[in-house]
Amino acid sequence: MEAVRDSVPLQRLSQSSEDRAGDDRIPEYDGRDSASSTSGATPMHDEELPSYSQVRSTGQIIGRGHSTLLHRSAWVTLITIIYVTLAIYAWTMTVVLSYHPIKAKSWGYNIANAIYEQEESKIDFARSARIYRSARTLQSIVQVATLPWITAVCASAAVIYTQNQKNTGLRLRQVTTLADRRWDDPSLYLSLAQGRWKQHGSALLWVAMIIYIFGAITYPIQSLFLTTQTIKIPTEPSNRAKLNDFNTADYQYIVEIAAGLDMLQTRSALSQADGHTYYPNIWSNNSGVQFITLNELSSETFYSQLPNGFNTGLLRQFAPRVNSTASSETILADQFPTNCSTEAGALYLDYQTTYTDRKSTYISEISNHSYYGLIACMPASSTKSRWQMTRNRQDFTEVLYLNLTGSDIATSSSDAAEYLYKITVSTTSGYFELPNYMNNNTPGPLLESDPEDLCDEKCMNQSSRDSWQTWNYKYARRSTTTNTSTLEAGSLSPLNTTYKGPLLMTALATFGPNSFIDTFPASYAAIEAESKATSSIATELSDACIANPPLSNLLLDTSEGESLCVYADIWYGEWYPAGSSISQWLSWFTNYADRLPTAFTAAAYLSNAQLLATIPGSWYVYQDLGENMEIPSISLTGIIVVSVLMGVYLLPLLALSLYAGYFARWTGRLDSFAMLRFGAFAGDKVFPMLVGRKADSVAELDEMSGVVRDVARAGAENEVIPIGRLGFGEGRKLKSKRRYECFKGDDEPLNPQEFQRVQWRVHHRG
């Protein structure tokens, strides 16, 4: 039955019953080419056929009934939808990722969405990175495929365009322009500029030009706006430090602090300090300065327990800071306090010593009886602890009065001089934001209030979680008496002050109990006695450093080799009194009076360091330096411009592909093979094989219709299955349910409906 279906001669079924009864043979090919036998719907005899028709395609057997239905081509629409989807996806993901990761509001750090927090609130940065890589890859593919695919869609739509126009609605030259795909040909634009739109132009050409031009410029313009930037994404925070905290309200420990221990520790630090060594814990408000010495301290520098430049990365973290600045001025005797020795709570230190200076044997202008004296006074208003256990900013000032006298600092050979100084130290403390990525890696300013009140989504809790505890202190007072003390009179109650101010700490460390001026005579005598008892050679000890008085390293410029030490005072084998060394030390305060502010500022720095090292409290500092991730960067203007450009070419391209895929078509594309068939239909009498460099001057192209039609064929309407013939010019519109003559390779068997019609005709006429 199938064999019958495929081989039934459709033309034979239109004959009369008598003819069919007398001749059941299938008619043979009659030597007439239907595609070329009709020019303008006029049949041509064999002798009128053009020369090209003498060499026939083996598949062009019209007489045997090769025919096919017209079909739609959905592949253009399908691929265009895929192309548009990829283009929109790549652009959308690029825009989205330029503002925030997937399933998050911004790339800004948020502790609630950090990768190390609750599982349900994590941000999948790896997923965002994969999506960005895929978007870049797809964008590259789309960019490369844009112009070729625009051309392919327009060529496919041109087929439908040539068959859906009115009979005279499209000239052959306009069809050749579309077939040549001249929307990408600069010469066409030159012709159009010269006023030849009527010759070449058509609605489809206009649409194709718009799509092609905007498709060509969209991605170069996009590259002008779109850049990449590297950001930091969270990894895992690390607890880098546990600092002492000014606020102790949330903790409870029993701390036994020996009175004076802070003084001893500060004294040790003062003895070791110098003005040319870099201190890593000195910070500067000028973030470009990292290495600072004690000689370079100023109102722009401050102390923090963390090393200068410590960076917390993606986290906002805060740390305590203290800044003290000293000033010095010479005062008159009536400006020196007179009630220090009697004022309750005041610090009063009085050292007055007369000694026999053996140098007078050789230097007659120096009196036999030499003398030195030191009075240090701090009023009670300065000796009370000025520190408050609060994270808010606090400012206070301390004052120290010094009265220095002695033979070695005398300005004349007979009278001991008296120098009076007022040392003022102003201290400011509080908290500051540590360098991080949000503040451009610079230390923040001194905060006015508790940093926990300022914390945001980028902070981690820094205070201890032992909130059930509160502080409770017990202090044990240590004895301050010594058998060898040279302290004549004193009011030492400030020794028990908790959280001493930096100037009070400096004064006690430098001049207080067991300080150099207090104990050196006894220690010097012990060295002298030991040397004589062991018959040591005195000259060997004269080069030995036996004491390093506090502040001496800061008063003297040690970088230039000035002496830091007190040596054994030996003259021709004779030991001289310790008083001469003490008097020499006191002379440094007057000889280098211009360096007193520098020395006391440095001493305050060391005192503050000691304070912050011993106060209770736990203040944790976390760090998360993050990992690098590359994300797109584009301005709002760029987003608007590129989105408009993409819309201008993508929407018409999609519409054109739907147009190309909706209608049944007579050929796949308007290409060279389609135009070859156009020429075959017209014949070589219209378009002979002649030289034609100037196609614009060929008038036939402008006169002949280029609309593809179903041209009339003799006897076609009487056939059981009517078979149409393609041509251009006058004719009917092509229909999807009608068969048309085709090449052998396109021959399509009868479908069930057609076969039933044939069977019905055979039986009713048989």
Residues ≥6 apart with Cβ < 8 Å to 73 = 156, 660, 661, 665, 668
pLDDT at 640 over 90: yes
What's the mean pLDDT in 504-514?
Answer: 92
User: Pairing between strand 739-741 and 723-728?
Assistant: parallel
Counting beta carbons within 10 angstroms of the beta carbon of residue 668, is it exposed (0 to 12), middle (13 to 18) or buried (19 or more)? middle
What's the mean pLDDT in 120-125?
Answer: 70
* 445 vs 235 pLDDT, higher one: 445
pLDDT tens digits for 463-480?
A: 864 433 333 333 333 333
pLDDT of res. 41: 40
Sorting pLDDT into bands at 50, 70 and 90, what band is 487?
A: low
Looking at this protein, which amino acid is placed at residue 528?
A: E
Taking the C-alpha atoms of residue 610 and residue 244, their distance in angstroms, rounded to an integer, is 11
Lowest mean pLDDT among 65-79, 520-534, 606-620: 520-534
Question: Please, what is the average pLDDT of the chain?
Answer: 77
pLDDT at 306 over 90: yes
* Nearest by Cα to 427 from 589, 595, 303: 303
3-state secondary structure 700-734: HHHHCECCEEEECCCCHHHCCCCEEEEEECCCECC
Q: What is the DSSP letter of 479?
A: P
Assessment of whether the complete model's pTM goes beyond 0.85: no
pLDDT at 253 over 90: no
pLDDT at 226 over 70: yes
pLDDT at 53 over 80: no
Would you list the domain boundaries of the chain?
A: 2-66+690-765, 75-231+630-665, 238-623
CA of residue 126 relative to chain centroid, distance: 16
pLDDT at 606 over 90: yes
pLDDT tens digits for 57-87?
A: 333 333 446 877 788 888 999 999 999 999 9
pLDDT of res. 362: 45
* 222 vs 233 pLDDT, higher one: 222
Percent of the chain with pLDDT over 70: 74
pLDDT tens digits for 191-219?
A: 888 877 877 778 888 999 999 999 999 99
Q: Beta partners for 665? A: 71
Sign, CA torsion 309/315/316/321: negative
pLDDT of res. 252: 41
